[in-house]
Amino acid sequence: MTTNAQPDVAGWEYSPALESTKVTIEQKNKLFIGGKFVTPKSRSWFATTNPSTGKKLADIACAGKADVNAAVASAKAALPKWSRLPATERAKYLYAIARRIQERAREFAILETMDGGKPIKESRDVDIPLAAQHFFYYAGWADKLEYAFPGAKPSPIGVCAQIIPWNFPLLMAAWKIAPALACGNTSILKPAETTSLTALRLAEIFQEVGLPDGVANIVTGAGDTGRILAEHKSVNKVAFTGSTQVGKLLMRETAGTGKKLTLELGGKSANIIFADAAIDQAVEGIVSGIYFNQGHVCCAGSRLFVEESILDEVVHKLKHRLSSLRVGDPLDKNTDLGAINSKSQLDIVKGYIATGVKEGAQLHETTNQRLPSRGYWCNPCFFTDVQPSHTIAREEIFGPVLCVMTFRTPEEAISRANNSPYGLAAGVWTDKGSKIFEVAKKLDAGIIWCNTYNKFDAASPFGGFKESGYGREGGLQGLRPYVQLDTALGRKN
């Protein structure tokens, strides 16, 4: 059964507020290897589309084996000089990159939104500023690494293969490249197939700031390109953000090779609301927790646990809030939810919604009549009457779909929240300080947002427990995956 909330509760419409700055996109986007944009030896190209229109934006080079070999060779050749560069000089390149991203922020934000479908207000206010912050933050670590690892001598690992997803394209590129370079490694980044444009524009910045050739390379392509890169013998380190399934595959394939591996994988994060929480704030937290970036967020608060006594109030407020969310043109500054990133992802999300209904959960969604006729769209929705065994309560949907469940005691909330192979993030909402800390301590998750959700910062480590992966990105702990430690202090006893 479907219940529909009414749109436009305020009774009046917003006028469109379209971002009008034009961004030029090259027709053929080449690979970035050894400091130059080069035509792929594979002679193969693929189209990248705007998911809000379904129209092709440009052609992207599809890197084959020879291209990957060239990129790895250039990263390997650049390594000795880059790793021995005075650390403050390394830092200055990264600072310069951060500054250039800030200067070209508008261009990056528009490009990100056109290529990926996320609302301009998110790419403008979250993705791009955070990407700049990551370079700025890690720039400062480059000459302070000995202080990060007391009692150990850190040294670079070497050539890093870095494979990123499509949900935060430039931000993920920054998360990967900034700490790797700060620690003296060189990098080959493989962006996601559907979102290569901002990474390639980042390569322009590398050229502009004079980053030494080969220190950071970008090879575009699909899964095959990523696999060839990860398997390359001269790669010393693989850093992957994406699905748990591919993460496990990488673990098996790198077994016994001595390659270092860090994985930032899927999630099914719990958002727990106690009766003593500030309910209005909590409802805002639920909304930003699940509908941010159309739910294309590995740490999305996709399982909502509400204390039984306040279920009706929370559901009522959630329906009201849902009805005021604006779905539509991502380039409109008033848009809350943009387009689903691709046709295939839309099919996956729709499939989960159908499964939820079929398995007996009750669907609540808005009917937004203004959805564009072209492109890939999904109205934000939530399910009640969800059982823990339901598919939608167990599997990562990666879309704007929330499961609402209830609990009676803190112990029950904790045990149900922890009952998942994932352990990426969790939210806790209560006004009781002691309860916050007790619950936060007992939740098996790498990030605990207390009375807030989906907050990110370059200084704050991000990464999960259990099958959500290992290693951290961001903060001091985000350096660890990019250094080798010699713990011999020369003090024999």
Partner 1 sequence: MSRLTVAKTYKLYIGGSFQQTESGRSIAIVDVKGNTAAHMCHASRKDFREAVEAATKAFGAWSGITGYLRGQILYRMAEMLEGRREEFAAAIQVTGSITPATARKEVDATVDCLVRFAGWTDKFQQVLGCANAVAGNFYNFTVPQPQGVVAVIAPETPSLLGLVSLLGAPLCAGNTTVVLGADANPIPTAILGEVCQTCDVPAGVINLLTGSKKDLLEHVASHRQVVGIYAAPLGKKERVIIERGAADSMKRVRFAAMQGDDWYDGSRVSSPWNIEPFVEMKTIWHPSAC
Give the integer Cα–Cα distance in Å for 493 and 476: 31
Residue among 47 and 459 whose Cβ is closer to partner 1: 459
Give the integer Cα–Cα distance in Å for 447 and 387: 25
Contact call for residues 74 and 31 (beta carbons, < 8 A): no
Give the integer Cα–Cα distance in Å for 71 and 213: 11
Number of CB atoms found within 10 A of residue 488's CB: 10
Residue 125 CB, shortest distance to partner 1, in Å, is 13
Residue among 226 and 446 whose Cβ is closer to partner 1: 446
Concerning whether 264 is annotated as a catalytic residue, the answer is: yes
DSSP string, 435-484: HHHHHHHHS--SEEEES--S---TTS-B--EETTEES-BSTGGGGGGGEE
Amino acid present at 166: W
List for the chain the helix, strand, coil content (%; round to 5): 40, 20, 40
Residue among 130 and 327 whose Cβ is closer to partner 1: 130
Residue 274 CB, shortest distance to partner 1, in Å, is 15
Rg for the chain (alpha carbons), in Å? Answer: 23
Concerning whether 107 is annotated as a catalytic residue, the answer is: no
Residue among 8 and 438 whose Cβ is closer to partner 1: 438
- Pairing status of strand 186-190 against strand 159-163: parallel
Give the integer Cα–Cα distance in Å for 314 and 325: 17
Residue among 291 and 453 whose Cβ is closer to partner 1: 453
Residue 303 CB, shortest distance to partner 1, in Å, is 18
**Catalytic option among 298, 299, 378, 381:** 298
**Catalytic option among 19, 122, 193, 264:** 264
Residue among 311 and 450 whose Cβ is closer to partner 1: 450
Locate 94 and state its tokens: 């990264």
Residue 247 CB, shortest distance to partner 1, in Å, is 7
> For tokens 């220190």, what's the residue?
215
Residue 410 CB, shortest distance to partner 1, in Å, is 16
The H-or-E segment that residue 222 falls in is none
Q: Which residues bind partner 1 (CB under 8 A)?
A: 133, 149-152, 244, 247-249, 251-252, 254-256, 263, 421, 423, 436, 440-441, 444-452, 455, 457-463, 465-467, 469-470, 472, 475-477, 480, 485, 487-489, 491-493
Residue 19 CB, shortest distance to partner 1, in Å, is 25
Residue among 49 and 430 whose Cβ is closer to partner 1: 430
Contact call for residues 135 and 175 (beta carbons, < 8 A): no
Residue 426 CB, shortest distance to partner 1, in Å, is 10
Amino acid present at 59: D
Looking at the DSSP assignment, which residues form a beta bridge with residue 270?
303, 426
Give the integer Cα–Cα distance in Å for 114 and 50: 5
Locate 417 and state its tokens: 């929240």
Contact call for residues 301 and 289 (beta carbons, < 8 A): yes
Question: Mind telling me the catalytic residues?
Answer: 264, 298
